[in-house]
Each structure stands twice: as structure tokens, then as C-alpha cells.
Structure 1
Amino acid sequence: MNQNYKRPESVLVVIHTRSGEVLLLERQQPPGYWQSVTGSLGWDEEPLAAAIREVAEETGIAAEDKLVDCGYHNRFEILPAWRARYAPDVTVNTEYVFQIELAEKVPISLNPDEHRRAEWLPAKVAALQASSYTNQAAIERLVLGKR
């Protein structure tokens, strides 16, 4: 555990409405990269706490009573462009998946350091627009019911 580097564990939080609209955020860097709420765990942080923190930081939504642990995680190779943030021997990240289902769309307060804009999209469109394959799969599984 070298705390000079990022911890190779993160959360993915799919926020959607009961009617099937999914919130996607466009990252500042790289432009055109769309995602659900994501973020790395702090070295002393559990996945649930990280998910609550990231949702609040990235959207302004208080998630404590809405967040559901989906009971699965993804493992994926860290892209070479991002590897310098991690210890030299680290090449794989573990991503814990959560969801929030809302009765209806809510206003979003973006962190402008991280994201350019937010959009509520029909789930099928969101699944196609999400830049990460794990994010696409989570939308399909959690909102569209595909396994």
C-alpha cells in the first residue's frame, strides 16, 4: 500500500429514474468522455463511503438513503494514459458498482473541475453514449434488465 499513488479501486454509481432516464456526465478531460458517477477510493475508505462522497461531489445529490450496492464489481486494465497515477506494478483496477433510483429527474450541481455538463438520457441512449464498457454494461444490467 503506497499512499503516494492512487488506490486501484473505484466506484461506479449509475443514477437513473424509475422511468428509465440515466444521468451521464461529460468529463472535462478528455472532452467527449461520458460516464456515470465514478471515483477512486481513498486509502482508508470503504466502497460505500466512496460512493456517497463521489455522488455528492459530482452531482450535489445526498445519496446516503438512496444508494444501493449492486453486489458485484468489475476488474479492468488501467489504460496506459492513466497508469502514472498508480504504483509502477499496478495495471488493474477493481470497480464496485452501485445504483440510485430516483422517482424523477433532479437538478444536478456539477463540479466544474471534473465535468463539463450533465444530461438525463433514455437508458438505451445512455448505454450507447457511456464511454466505458463497464459503465455501458452496468446501465444495460441495472436499468434495461439485460444480463
Structure 2
Amino acid sequence: MSSSLKRPESVLVLVYNQDAEVLVLERCQPRGFFQSVTGSLEWGESAPAAAARELEEETGLSPVPAPRDCHLDAYFEIHPAWRDRFPPGTQQNHERVFCRAVQGRPAIRLNPEEHVSWQWMPFDRALAKVSSHSNRQALCQVIPLRMR
């Protein structure tokens, strides 16, 4: 497959700490779109490898230990404005959820081509802030109830 076209598979990596604070990133485009770490799998790349790569690329956090596979999947329609980035006829994306617990609030090094800001937020605030329904659903399923 042409490397110029995106693979319609992605990872979502939830980063949180022992206080149930969640790392939330604001995208460059569109501004005001908040999310957890996310990104498309490269052609020939496994989902676990993509989760580790995206974690490091988007936050500067070490991919060791590797993000944990939460065995959660989401399918969503690709926005029509972005469909030309994918193989012809592609309308849906498959997203696999991973998570990574960290200690405290480690400093974040953003990729300035993707994100303009980051914040550690309490679970409830992060849930209200993230823009994607699949991101909200993953937060509810992954962050343990006892931590919220």
C-alpha cells in the first residue's frame, strides 16, 4: 500500500497517574480539539508498537514499560474532510485502546506539529474535556472506579 495514504487503524493511549489525573493534549488542528495520545498505525506496524511509538512521539515519555493493551476496540466514521488521507473508499477507522500509568506528573514534550498544549486533569474534568466519544468511552472503561 502507498505509504502516502494512512492505514485506517489507530491506537489511543490513555496516560494517567495514581491520583486518577489524566493527560490531555490539545491538537494544532482543529484548535480546541482535546484528546489522549493517539495516532495511526504505519503500514506493517503492530498496534503495541504503534502505541509505544505514539506515546514517545507525542509526549516525550519513555515507551518503557510499554503501554498496556486494554483489549478494547472502537470503530468510528472518518470525518469526510479527512477521507482523502486514506485508501479510496475507506470510511471507517478501527481504534485499539492502550493505557500507561505514570508516577506523579511527569513533564511532557509535545510534538509541535500535532499539539499546542497539554494538561494533567482530574478524571471528571478530562472526561468532559476530550472531544471524541471513543476517548470518553475508553476513559470510563479503563480508569478504575476506585481511582475516580
- TM-score bracket relative to the smaller structure: over 0.9
What's the TM-score once normalised by structure 1's chain length? 0.94
The answer to which of 85-94 and 135-144 deviates more is 135-144
Quote the Cα distance in structure 1 between the aligned partners of 2:145 and 2:86: 34
Question: Do 1:25 and 1:37's aligned partners in 2 also have CA atoms closer than 8 Å?
Answer: yes
1:48-98 deviations in whole A, cap 9, x for unaligned? Answer: 000100000000001231411001211111111211101121101000100
In the other structure, the counterpart of 2:43 is 43
1:109 is aligned to 109
- For 1:2 and 1:57, how far apart are their aligned partners in 2? 22
Q: 1:29 maps to which residue?
A: 29
SS for the counterpart of 1:107 is coil
Q: Kindly state the Cα deviation for residue 105 of structure 1 after the two structures are TM-superposed.
A: 1.1
Q: Report the residue type matching 1:29 in the other structure.
A: Q
State whether structure 2 residue 63 is matched by structure 1 residue 81. Answer: no
Give the C-alpha shift of residue 2 in structure 1.
Answer: 4.7
The residue number in structure 1 matching 2:63 is 63
C-alpha displacement of 1:46: 0.2
Letter in 2 for 1:20: A
> Which stretches of structure 1, 4 residues or longer, exceed 3 Å deviation after superposition?
1-4
> 2:12 corresponds to which letter in structure 1?
L
1:128 corresponds to 2:128: yes
After TM superposition, the score normalised by the length of structure 2 is: 0.94
Distance 1:145 1:66, change over 3 A: farther
Question: Are the counterparts in 2 of residues 123 and 144 from structure 1 also a CA contact under 8 Å?
Answer: no
SS at match of 1:118: strand
Gaps of 5+ in 2: none
Matched to 1:133, the amino acid is H
Ranges in structure 1 where 5+ consecutive residues have no aligned partner: none
Q: Identity of counterpart residues, as a percentage?
A: 44
**Deviation readout 1:10-29 (Å, 9 max, x if unpaired):** 00000000110000000000
Equivalent residue, structure 2, for 1:8: 8
